[in-house]
Amino acid sequence: MKDNKYKSSIYHKIIFAISLIVLLFIGVITVKHINNISDSSRLLMHTYEVNLELEHLFSYIKDSENSMRGYLISKDTLYLKPYRTATKNVNNSFLLLNNLTKDNPIQQKNLESLYGIVNKRYEYISNYADANNSIDLTKDNHFKKNFRESSTLLVEIRNKLNEMVALEELFLKERNKLYQSQIYLTPILTLSILFLTLMVLVFAYYQTNKDVEKLQAANIKLSKSQFLSYQAEILSEFGTWEWNLNNNSLSFSDNLYRILGVEPQSIEASEESFLKFVHPEDIEVVKETNKKIVNQEEVPYTYFRIIKADGTPRLLRATGKLFTDRLGNQTVLGVTEDITVENDKTELLKSNYEDLIKANNHLKIFEESSKQAEILGKYGSWVLNYDTLEFTYSDNRFRLLGFEPQSFKPSVEKFVEFVHPEDKHIVINALDKAQKEKKFPTINYRIIRKDGKIRRFRTNATSFIDFLGAKCMIGTTQDVTVDYNKSLQLKARNKELEQKINELNEFNHVASHDLQEPLRKIQTFISRINDKETNNLSDFGKEYLSRIESASVRMRVLINDLLQYSRTNKSENKLEKVDLNIVLQDSLTELSQKIEDTQARIHYTDLPVINGLQFQMQQLFYNLLSNSLKYAKEQVIPEVSISYTEVMAKTEPLLNEKQNKKYYKFEFTDNGIGFEQEHAEKIFLLFNRLHGKTDYQGTGVGLAICKKIIENHNGFIFATSQPEIRTTFTFFIPA
């Protein structure tokens, strides 16, 4: 709508400018035409004035001639007065003609010649115009000569006047012709101007009416949008607000007042009045958010609490953005939503609240990265319309085939063209089944890309009905070439692993039977020698025999520990309910003689029932208790403390996890010799010993067995120690 308004405004400005130019042009032409007509009319009048004045001049000359003749004949001085008046009129007429013909060189020249003739004639008769003159005109030859010359000059005057009149008549014809032509064009020009003006007015009216219709339609649409927006705010429990930064004024929508618990427009819309409803602990959050919005920072949704007018607490979610128009006016537009009901529903699942938040964050991350997911996962999606058999591909579906996105129109035939000839029947059968049964089985096949490379694809799909009611199928196609190659390698390695397992089983058989058989014979012969031949041995022989016996015992213990370690395999067993109190009592019973010999004190609390393997947990407790008794300090009564608690993974520093997963935390603490903390991880390695064989008996396998048992139960084990003070074994098992 905004773009259309802008285009319409520019369009109107252009039309207005063109109309103004046309009107100005028409006005200039009209003024110029009127001026031409005025000039033509003025020239016609000028010609008439010149002709009229020439007639007046000749009339004045004749009057002076007649007056002079009357005087000469009658000698009556009364004729001299009209003579002098006529002479004066002639002079005035000459002055007027001179002024009228000043822009006509020809007539000026004629007028000058005429003036000379008239002046010469007056010179002839001026001598006889005196009333005191007593000349006898009848007898004076000089008078007769002058009188004849005067008559001749009068004829010349008449001829010159006729010449000037003829010239003016010629001018009159030309100017009248020009005037007539201009008068002829006047109605045509007037009608043309009226027509053009009418066209401009009609076009302007058409455009104005068209824009008015668009404006009415836009107003109707805007009214509908405002109504829907008004209802949407009520139904969705949100309100909008607008903050004008130029004059620092705020305006709230009606529903925002309702969210605050007051009547619409019943209080002044301002930051201060709004903050009065905000929970005291969240006021700084709201202020800081407003500052960030004004500073044009990216602000996510802000959550804060309010206390409504009736005292009811509510949880709100708000967001806003700063807009700057072309004139530099800054306005913040925002939306505030009441999410109390949504939050209450969340509170019903408090135990999983943080998992939900994390899942929500993961969902947001997934949504933001969905555009890249297909590329990273090497798959593309597609939709097939059963009715039209039209395909729609995602961008990465084209890339998998070696093409640019949307570079060709997908179709069933085009899809089959890329399939490897040997696998076409797989795809065709799947498409036929999809068409008939509306089911598409998962298929694996090869395709030949645009660049000629052969890739292995896996496709699966499911049917659905879109919102228009059309039956469609949506599917994904993944490039599994790398996985296929890895599967081939994995099969080969699995075969090698099976061979190694068989070899290990053979070793276990040898260790349990073949190796122990000669060891039993050695121990049997040592026993017989001790019974029957001890007295026949020298002291060195007795010492060597004792060492052989000790070595054979250590070898038997080592073989048994190795067998125990190799058999500690969770995959071969199913977890069951195990009461650790019974496990602990059985372990204490097995170690009762050792406990009695060392006078050890064992402190413990009630232990839980877990999901585990009975015999492995028995081995774990036995090894840990035995280890504490073995490494007791001399002359100090051993004390062992066994305890447990239930913990959350994210609150336990040793686990370094951020999940809400529950664990049973067990601690075995003793007051033995301890060890340096730097050896805390080494003690769980197979055959690793921190002390010599002569100092403490053992094979270095017991703690390795403990770690493997804990790992079989998806748990963790740690050791912390201070030399000569204490040692604590801590292990975690999922609750």
How far apart are the C-alpha atoms of 565 and 686, rounded to whole Å? 9
Calculate the CA 721 to chain-centre distance. 57
pLDDT, residue 5, reads 46
Q: What percent of the chain has pLDDT over 70?
A: 76
Instruction: Write out pLDDT tens, residues 604-614.
Output: 999 999 988 88
Higher per-residue pLDDT: 573 or 482: 482
How far apart are the C-alpha atoms of 148 and 154, rounded to whole Å? 10
Helix axes 481-509, 539-567, angle to 10 degrees: 150
What does the pLDDT average to over 272-281? 86
How far apart are the C-alpha atoms of 335 and 337, rounded to whole Å? 7
CA 706, 566, 576: angle at the middle one, nearest 5?
60
Residue 131 has pLDDT above 60, yes or no: no
Task: Let me know: does 615 contact 578? Beta carbons within 8 Å.
Answer: no
Higher per-residue pLDDT: 592 or 681: 592
How far apart are the C-alpha atoms of 578 and 567, rounded to whole Å? 19
CA 153, 156, 157: angle at the middle one, nearest 5?
85
Secondary structure, 3-state, 556-571: HHHHHHHHHHHHCCHH
How far apart are the C-alpha atoms of 158 and 141, rounded to whole Å? 26
pLDDT, residue 731, reads 93
Global pTM value: 0.34
- Kind of pairing between the strands at 601-604 and 639-648: parallel
Please name every residue paired with 1 in a beta bridge, in sequence order, or none if there are none: none
Q: Which two tokens stand for residue 625?
A: 């208790």
- Residue entry with tokens 């009214």: 223
User: Which among 332, 299, 331 has a CA at the least distance from the CA of 317?
Assistant: 299
Residue 136: band (very low, low, confident or very high) from pLDDT cuts 50, 70, 90? low
The three-class DSSP label of residue 89 is helix
Task: Let me know: does 670 contact 640? Beta carbons within 8 Å.
Answer: yes
Instruction: Write out pLDDT tens, residues 472-525.
Output: 888 888 888 888 888 888 888 878 777 766 666 666 655 555 666 677 767 777
What does the pLDDT average to over 461-481? 83
Cα distances (angstroms) measured from residue 138 to each of 70, 127, 143: 15, 15, 8
pLDDT, residue 574, reads 74
Sign of CA dihedral 322, 324, 325, 331: positive
For residue 623, the tally of other CB atoms under 10 A from its CB is 21
- Residue entry with tokens 């959550």: 303
How far apart are the C-alpha atoms of 422 and 212, rounded to whole Å? 67
How far apart are the C-alpha atoms of 334 and 317, rounded to whole Å? 11
Task: Let me know: does 90 contact 111? Beta carbons within 8 Å.
Answer: no
Q: Which two tokens stand for residue 159?
A: 């001829």
How far apart are the C-alpha atoms of 394 and 382, rounded to whole Å? 6
pLDDT, residue 2, reads 43
Q: Kindly state the helix (H) or strand (E) to which residue 457 belongs, with its residue range.
A: strand 454-465
How far apart are the C-alpha atoms of 349 and 623, rounded to whole Å? 41
pLDDT, residue 607, reads 93
Q: Kindly state the helix (H) or strand (E) to which residue 668 belongs, with its residue range.
A: strand 662-670
User: Mean pLDDT: which of 42-51, 163-172, 366-375, 624-633 is highest?
Assistant: 624-633
For residue 222, the tally of other CB atoms under 10 A from its CB is 12
The three-class DSSP label of residue 692 is coil
Please name every residue paired with 456 in a beta bridge, in sequence order, or none if there are none: 446
Instruction: Write out pLDDT tens, residues 662-671.
Output: 899 999 999 8
pLDDT, residue 516, reads 65
pLDDT, residue 101, reads 79
pLDDT, residue 570, reads 47
| Sequence-separated (6 or more) residues with CB below 8 Å from residue 142 | none
Instruction: Write out pLDDT tens, residues 343-384.
Output: 777 666 555 556 656 656 655 665 456 557 777 778 888 888
Please name every residue paired with 380 in a beta bridge, in sequence order, or none if there are none: 477
Q: Which two tokens stand for residue 715?
A: 């748990």
Q: Which two tokens stand for residue 539?
A: 């002291």
What does the pLDDT average to over 533-560? 72
Instruction: Write out pLDDT tens, residues 300-325.
Output: 678 888 888 888 888 888 888 877 77
Residue 581: band (very low, low, confident or very high) from pLDDT cuts 50, 70, 90? very high
Provide the CB-side half-sphere exposure for 690 (13 A, CA): 16
Residue 427 has pLDDT above 90, yes or no: no
Task: Let me know: does 145 contact 128? Beta carbons within 8 Å.
Answer: no
User: Which among 299, 458, 462, 465 has a CA at the least distance from the CA of 377?
Assistant: 458
